[in-house]
Structure 1
Amino acid sequence: MTDTHTTLIIGATGTTGSRTTAQLITVGHHVKAASRHATPVPGAESVRFDWYDPTTHADALDRIDRLYLIPPLGDSDPASVMLPFLRQARAAGVRRAVLLSSSAIPEGGPAVGAVHQALPGLFDEWAVLRPSWFMQNFTGTHAHAQSIRANGTILTAAGTGRVGFVDAEDIAAVAVRALTDGRPPNTDLVLTGPEALSHDDIATITTEVTGRPVTHHHLTYEQMRDRLTALMPPEFAAMLAGMDRVIAEGAEDRITNTVQRLIGRPPHSFRAVAEREMVRSS
């Protein structure tokens, strides 16, 4: 299948951006892959893009009519750089924008919630993807995955709270649908996996799949905040630790049928993703 649309993927080398890029290319869509170093992506046109360098924005938007938006990482006020770019995108002829947000951040909420609120006023065709926490946090390059590999531990302030963890491949499949569907999506989509799991459950499944013992260490909010502050700006660290506290209170203990409804198959389970992406101890 081919079409005449060109989609700019911002964050094309990231967890969901790389998968969305690959899936779009597989089905014959034209893709402009944007990253800070213009990293070559097979089958796509690569372009340099930096949220904080406006001189990179015009080239990225050239000949584009659709956008996949990954907010700048670690920024507690992404609207300050995203909204000027989005106004520029609209003026350049972009018709459809799909924003990656979070199930924990409602429209008008903190951080990317302000961008979510503004999106319908900027584009006639839009969608906001609000996935739950990524399963790849435990299999990729996230701090949880690194801690699992290095120490056999997962450290959170989430207590026994459960989360509908979701596979990044499923997020990308929904993104592709939202970017390419002939009908304007104009919707807020909460994405989860097929079951809600605690971090204790994640540790148990990871142990069973890898053959190496993994345990979940329960931290207080203050311990988690201070640990994260050593790695990132204090405001962002406090926000992330606060999200763990919200999980502990039960706010993320839910599942939705959005993935099944939009892509026609059930979302992948964490066990399936772990078996696909984790290395078993020999």
Structure 2
Amino acid sequence: MTMTGSPQTALVLGGTGRTGSLVARQLAERGLGARTAARHGADVRFDWDDPTTHPGALDGVDRLYLVTPVLRVSYADQVAAFLDLAEAAGVRHVTYLSTYRGDQAPPEIDIRAVEADLASRRAITHSVLRPAWLMQNFSDAHLPVVDGVITVPTGGGAEAFVDAADIAAVAVETLLAPEAHADARYAPTGPQALTVAEVADTIAAVTGRPVRQHDIDPDAWIGGAVAAGLVPADYAVMLRWLTAGIISGNGATPNNDIEKVTGRPPATFHDFARRSVHAWTSPAVG
């Protein structure tokens, strides 16, 4: 399938987010039109819960970086309706940001349903990205260092944490050359499987400040997140699934998908930590 005869423009959902903002910037640098979409601060306003924002976002678009609603587990129907609209508007390729082992997600989480929906559509090609946990989790509000402690249940298990920039680089290649990546399943990972204790040691080394992990009981951690209003109650199933993978020893393991697609190796956590040192040393950080 070739994509000619129409303007080549990618709609980047989550366009102000951790991967979407990088995808849009890298696409523009490579000469492809990129339109960011988000509720605030993007090129176009896009709200999953306001379908009136969808048609305008898709105007003149032929490819899509699909980021599903955040902090939710039920969204397949909304996504299907949007993909119907996208197809009708002329979108011919979708790159979907899924989750590591997304094909094995519990049935009450709609990750697998979206993957299956894309696979069933004959009028469009698609690529699925199933990345490991992001390194950025430790430099933003997901798994912050608070008073020198990273609190997350892992049972001492390891994960091949991946840099959001490397996920974005893979996404960009699929959006630039959809034919070459049709039906592809990529699982972007970092080059090393690390425990969170090792992550803490690395952050301590680059900041010169003591950092350690509190390997908390999973139920206490999830219950605390729900009670504090950080996540909706039904999102607990997602947190339980994500942490159980690491605790059981089935966390992400390094592979060569990033180098295979982009031609360069993924960033190490030490690379990321040195680049992000300000996140842990600014006055606002506890």
TM-score, normalisation: structure 1:
0.91
* Aligned with residue 105 of structure 1, among 102, 105, 110: 102
1:262 shift after superposition: 0.5
Please tell me whether residue 162 in structure 1 is matched to residue 165 in structure 2. no
Which residue number in structure 2 is paired with residue 176 of structure 1? 172
Q: Which residue of 1 aligns with 2:14?
A: 11
Post-superposition offset of 1:53: 0.5
State the 1:253 CA deviation.
4.4
Whether 1:64 and 2:64 are equivalent positions in the alignment is no
Tell whether the 8 Å contact from 1:154 to 1:214 is kept in structure 2 after alignment.
Answer: yes
Q: Deviations 1:64-91 (Å, cap 9, x if unpaired)?
A: 1100011111111121211110111111
1:210 maps onto 2:213 in alignment: no
In structure 2, distance between residues paired with 1:165 and 1:249: 16
Partner residue in 1 for 2:274: 275
* Secondary structure of 2:128's aligned partner: strand
Asked if residue 36 in structure 1 is aligned to residue 66 in structure 2, the reply is no
In structure 2, relative to structure 1, the CA distance for the partners of 1:156 and 1:224 (3 Å cut) is: same
- Aligned to 2:192, the other structure's residue is in SS state coil
State the identity as a percent: 38
- 8 A Cα contact 2:201 2:211, kept in partner: yes
Residues in 2 aligned to 1:92 and 1:281: alpha-carbon distance in whole angstroms = 47
CA distance, structure 1, for counterparts of residue 105 and residue 136 of structure 2: 27
Within the candidate set 52, 56, 59, 1:55 is matched to 52
SS at match of 2:44: strand
State how far apart, in whole Å, the 2-side matches of 1:15 and 1:195 are.
Answer: 21
* Structure 1 moving runs of 4+ over 6 Å: none
CA–CA distance in 2 between the matches of 1:31 and 1:266? Answer: 25
What is the letter of the counterpart of residue 132 of structure 1? A
CA distance in 1, matches of 2:88, 2:113: 20
User: Displacement, 1:242?
Assistant: 3.2
Structure 1 residue 143, shift from structure 2 partner? 3.0
Deviation track 1:36-61 (CA, whole Å, cap 9, x = no partner) reads 12x25xxxxx1110011000000011
2: CA distance, partners of 1:111 / 1:251: 21
Pair 1:212–1:193, CA change in 2 (3 A)? same
Determine if contact 1:104/1:243 at 8 Å carries over to the other structure.
no
In structure 2, the residue corresponding to 1:242 is in which secondary structure? helix
- Residues 87-144 of structure 1: CA deviation (Å, up to 9, x unaligned): 11111111000000110421675322210111022253100100000001112x2231
Judge conservation of contact 1:161–1:253 (CA < 8 Å) in 2: no
Structure 2 residue ranges without an equivalent (≥5):
1-5
Distance in 2 separating the partners of 1:4 and 1:107: 37
Give the 3 Å change call, closer, same or farther, for CA 108–134 of structure 1 in structure 2. closer
- Give 1:277's aligned amino acid: S
2:3 corresponds in structure 1 to none
Q: Partner amino acid for 2:37?
A: A
Cα distance in 2 for residues equivalent to 1:164 and 1:13: 25
Partner residue, 1:125: 125
Query: Paired residue for 1:76?
Result: 73
* 1:29 aligned partner, one-letter code: L
C-alpha distance in 2 between matches for 1:261 and 1:80: 34
More off after superposition, 101-110 vs 163-172: 101-110
Distance 1:182 1:242 in 2: 31
Change (3 A) 1:240 1:8: same
Amino acid at match of 1:137: N
**TM (normalized to structure 2)?**
0.90
